[in-house]
Structure 1
Amino acid sequence: MFMQNMYLQLKNKLSNPGALILLGFTLLFIQAGPAQAGPLMDRIDAGKTIRIGFANEVPWAYPGENNKPLGFVNAYTLGVLKEMGYTNIEPVVTEWGGLIPGLKANRFDIITGGMYILNSRCQNIAFSEPMGKFGDAFIVAKGNPKGIQNYQDIKNKNAMLVTGAGYNTIEAAKKEGVAENNIMTVPGPTEILAAVKAGRADAGGMTYFTALNLAKESGNAVDVTNPSALPEWTLAYVGIGFREADRDFLKRFNAAQKKYLGSAKMLKTVEQYGYTKNQLPGEVTTAWVCKNR
């Protein structure tokens, strides 16, 4: 409509037929021009790296020697990017709470950290279609002396929950009625384990995969609760995070992911980290998850 009005206004002012023909072709070219590329494609076209952001979240995404991107979400994302023809990758390690702010501030281009797709996060960044479904759990002192299995136990027993800054478990606990002063936030898994072992917290909230890894690291000093004891609505789906401005790249990423997800090649790449066919997301879409989680 803008172009049509512009053409009519200029037509009334111009009397030269040749000028009108030239103007018509110019406006047609502008209307038919390609959509503007996002900042990630600008970087790629300039020969720069694709910067992937993640925290130290074993076995999801974590740094190895020289910040080598390890973990099944990193392995998966690198696999999709390779299918797209991109291998010029730069890892950027930060704390979990810095992932979304860092993405929005252009400190990296993609979040591979194993981030749950949540309605609150969908308001800030764009997610790929889900690459897996996962449950949460608690780590508790050996023997689970307070009998904590879910958020209602924490609420009813006036227990202290420790979890990571920016974790989905903060929202979940509040939704289940746990008082804010019964929720302690720390930077990440190492600090969560330390708080439970020291008795400063009665339970540590995190993903089930992370809890299993922490129990192993602790030499079985803590137990892991059954994830099925938590409400069904806490079952979550993980997506790869992008800036809203990079939806052109995200569309291509989703197309490549559709072919890669669940393939024998993909499953072989992630099996060393514990990801199996049981974690495949099925037919659930990001649009549904953003609305319902």
Structure 2
Amino acid sequence: MSDLSRRGFLGRTAAVGGLLTVPGLLAACSKAEGGAGGEGSTLEKLRKQGYVRVAYANEAPYGYEENGELKGEAPTLHREIFKALGVPELRPAFSEWDGLIPGLQAGKYDVISAGMAITPERCEKTLFSQPEFISPTALMVKAGNPKKITGLAAAKKAGATIGVMSGAVEKSYATAAGISEDDIRTLQKPQDGADAVRNGRVDAFLLTGISLNWLAKNNSGLEVTDSFVPEIDGVKQYSPGGAVFRRGSEELRDAFDAELKKITSDPARYVRLIGRYGFGRDTIPPASLKTADLCKA
């Protein structure tokens, strides 16, 4: 799989507060985590300062700013998890999508909260949590779907021009399906994709079904195809996403994963937290889907 991001979107920084932590909970967490909560660990430092720095790329519904508040799938889950770990506040910083990993490596923030797809190439540079969600792919087309584009094979057969996000894994899906580079157009943000379909610059815009259905709410004259699971070299691409940590933060990542598992193992809680953003029981990662396997080249 190529080392391409899935998404990128313009936005600005917003500050978000949280609940205060109960001291007894902190003690319980420290005992459960072992080294993760030890003196001098990253988690202990975050607890002492009372906040964790998170980066987002302002793409709804994964992580975005609205009316001065950080919202979306990733920030909502991460706020819940870090509160449980004794870190009551998320302090967000906006980054263009392509700058998320370089900024993390440079120490500008502690976690990427943007629903980033887990790929082998990224795993070489960072630490991923276990998957937070899985998301099939879809295509945005003009209302009525004049070219009858129902998937990538149909797009190739129709000679359709496909729009993809700059630095997005979807480009690899398109090329794997045999679509020529000449028929692929690169766009900077989701709204650019919707605009390109509307004005005829592309015949279809390729992105996760979750993203496109959200985008369609505010763009008339467009529709979204049924979701499908693309393949690369015969391997289905479920596009799992997760939180991203700097290398060397294994203890923090492991403590995060322990809390994440409590949420993904409880469908009712999962839907209660992020159902408003279009995530449901069908996007809960199966227990057999592991980051260690997704990170293998």
TM-score range, shorter chain: 0.7 to 0.9
Matched letter for residue 55 of structure 1: A
- Counterpart CA distance in 1 for 2:159 and 2:39 is 52
Q: What is the CA-CA distance between 1:130 and the residue it aligns to?
A: 1.0
> Could you say which residue in structure 1 is the equivalent of 2:70?
69
Q: What is the CA-CA distance between 1:41 and the residue it aligns to?
A: 4.4
Q: What is the CA-CA distance between 1:123 and the residue it aligns to?
A: 2.1
- Is 1:274 equivalent to 2:278 in the alignment? yes
SS at structure 2 position matched to 1:134:
coil
Does the aligned pair in 1 maintain the 2:165–2:187 contact within 8 Å? Answer: yes
Identify which of 281, 284, 287 aligns with 2:292.
Answer: 287
Does the aligned pair in 1 maintain the 2:264–2:285 contact within 8 Å? Answer: no
Does the aligned pair in 2 maintain the 1:38–1:248 contact within 8 Å? Answer: no
Q: TM-score scaled by structure 1?
A: 0.80
CA distances 1:51-96 after superposition (whole Å, capped 9, x unpaired) = 1111122112111222x21012210111111111111320112222
> Could you say which residue in structure 1 is the equivalent of 2:241?
238
Q: TM-score scaled by structure 2?
A: 0.79
Q: How big is the alpha-carbon RMSD for the aligned residues of Structure 1 and Structure 2?
A: 2.4
Q: What is the CA-CA distance between 1:274 and the residue it aligns to?
A: 2.2
Does the aligned pair in 2 maintain the 1:53–1:110 contact within 8 Å? Answer: yes
Mapping of 1:122-141 within 5 angstroms? 122-141=123-142
Matched letter for residue 56 of structure 1: N
> Could you say which residue in structure 1 is the equivalent of 2:227?
227
Does the aligned pair in 1 maintain the 2:79–2:89 contact within 8 Å? Answer: no
Percent of pairs with identical residues? 29
Segments of structure 1 that go 5 or more residues without pairing to the other structure are 1-33
- Counterpart CA distance in 2 for 1:229 and 1:255 is 28
- Counterpart CA distance in 2 for 1:152 and 1:76 is 35
Matched letter for residue 270 of structure 1: I
Mapping of 1:102-141 within 5 angstroms? 102-141=103-142
SS at structure 1 position matched to 2:49:
coil
Mapping of 1:34-45 within 5 angstroms? 40-41=42-43, 44=46
Q: Which moved more, 1:148-157 or 1:77-86?
A: 148-157
Matched letter for residue 276 of structure 1: G
**Aligned in 2, Cα 1:64/1:137: closer, same or farther, shift over 3 Å?**
same
Aligned pair count reads 257
Matched letter for residue 287 of structure 1: A
Does the aligned pair in 2 maintain the 1:60–1:73 contact within 8 Å? Answer: yes
- Counterpart CA distance in 1 for 2:172 and 2:42 is 31
SS at structure 2 position matched to 1:236:
coil
